[in-house]
Amino acid sequence: MSRILLRFALLVLLTGAVTSFAAGKELVFGMLLVGPYNDHGWSQAHYEGGRYLERKIPGARMIYIDKVNPADRPGVTVPMVVDDLVDKGATLIVANSDDMKDGIREAALQHPEVKFVHISGDDVLTGKAPENLSNLMGRMVYGKMMAGFTAALKSRSGRIAYLGPLINDETRRLAVAAWLGARYAWTEVLGKPADQLRFKVSWIGFWFNIPGVTADPNQVVRNFFDSGYDVVLSGIDTTEAIVVAQQKRLEGQDVFALPYDYVGSCQTAPEACLGVPYFNWGPEYVKLARSVLDGTWKQRWIWAGPDWKDINDPDTSAVGFLPGPALDVVNKERLQAFITGLGDGSIQLFRGPLDYQDGTPFLKAGEIADDKKIWYMQQLLKGMEGPSK
């Protein structure tokens, strides 16, 4: 009997050890960040998503390299950075910028044993992606609609400006979404004539300021405010818009801004902040990591949206909007009604008739845009000011 008990105890011990090892199986998760990890914007949102993954999956460990761009790291290529991450044990690697598309595709071909995710890309849609490469993006068109809606509610002049990065399909669709939200608030909620609303887009040339290469976003925002625009929406990765808005408020101007990307952006200048549309990458990162660990990974194009039950739920919603300290109670209630309408489908802003800037139809009367129509936005829309190409 003692031998049987001894064998049973040994079996329990070994089984427990195996279970513990499986539960704590290490996953090294690599991240390429286009900007600084603490930029209070795009790159920090991804960095925080990686830290969320570490908290949710025992044994997960993030390694990252930030400032992966030609200005900060001249001569350094995406495949070179990936080689370094793979050498350090990464089996899942995320590249967080549209500009990394070609480099991450090349790296995926060179490392077929590693799984890759390209943020904001469309290689899976176009058929260019190797089998070990997926695409992920948040449905920020909703967040930008909310931002534009909020901006129009607070604008006294009806002059709203949009600080854009570079021009591509993504940045056009987000600027368009902001304009659609602003137009809806101006005409449907405030009851003002559409022709009294001005919406101007200026592009700096990259996702963030590169002295001597891009336009200076600080100066662009100052020019907006000095020429009569009283609310600025940011579409760049960093916080210049809200910083300048705060400076102008200290000078006595009644102006506001909405930053972008990162849930904590309003903290930079709360008195000037009407709200922030932000990405919450953690939940989708967890899903991807678990698929690698349990062997269920498959190539996917993921356009993850808000959780309409609670768009600010950190465990479920890929996109959120956090009202800022400068937004009053009445307009918060109006915003919540707008969010409810977007969520239940009673408010459809991508509905025709809508024309591109050059007059060609984007959507016919009554037509509702599908995902690809929105994703591949070819121009800004008629009624918006600023270049489309």
Per-residue pLDDT reduced to its tens digit, 50-66? 999 999 999 999 999 99
Residues 16 and 111 in one domain: yes
Residues 362 and 242 in one domain: yes
Residues 325 and 295 in one domain: no
pLDDT tens figures, 240-266: 999 999 999 999 999 999 999 999 999
Mean pLDDT confidence for 344-358: 98
Q: How confident is the model at residue 12 (pLDDT cuts 50, 70, 90)?
A: very low
Round to whole Å and give the CA distance between 48 and 31.
11
In the chain, what is the straight-line distance between the N-terminal and C-terminal CA atoms, in Å?
83
Round to whole Å and give the CA distance between 330 and 341.
17
Residues 125 and 265 in one domain: no
Containing domain of residue 121, as a range?
2-138+281-304
Residues 129 and 263 in one domain: no
381 found inside a domain: no
Residues 234 and 329 in one domain: yes
pLDDT on residue 95 = 98
Q: Residue 82 sits in a domain of what CATH number?
A: 3.40.50.2300
Reduced to 3 states (helix: H, G, I; strand: E, B; else coil), residue 33 is coil
Residues 133 and 77 in one domain: yes
Mean pLDDT confidence for 198-204: 98
pLDDT on residue 3 = 36
pLDDT on residue 18 = 29
Poorest-confidence range of 8-12, 24-28, 220-224?
8-12
| Residues with Cβ within 8 Å of residue 192, at least 6 apart in sequence | 158, 186
60 found inside a domain: yes
382 found inside a domain: no
Count Cα neighbours of 53 within 13 Å in the Cβ-side half-sphere. Answer: 30
pLDDT on residue 166 = 97
pLDDT on residue 1 = 35
Average pLDDT of the chain is 93
Total of domains in the chain:
2
pLDDT tens figures, 66-98: 999 999 999 999 999 999 999 999 999 999 999
Compute CA distances 174 → 7, 179, 334, whole Å. 64, 9, 21
- pLDDT(6) > 50: no
118 found inside a domain: yes
Q: In degrees rounded to 5, what are phi and psi of residue 57?
A: -120, 110
Percent of the chain with pLDDT over 70: 94
Residues 134 and 176 in one domain: no
Residues 327 and 178 in one domain: yes
Round to whole Å and give the CA distance between 219 and 244.
9
Q: pTM here?
A: 0.91
383 found inside a domain: no
Cis peptide before 353 (omega within 30 of 0): yes
Q: In degrees rounded to 5, what are phi and psi of residue 250?
A: -65, -25
Residues 156 and 99 in one domain: no
Place of tokens 């890929």: 318
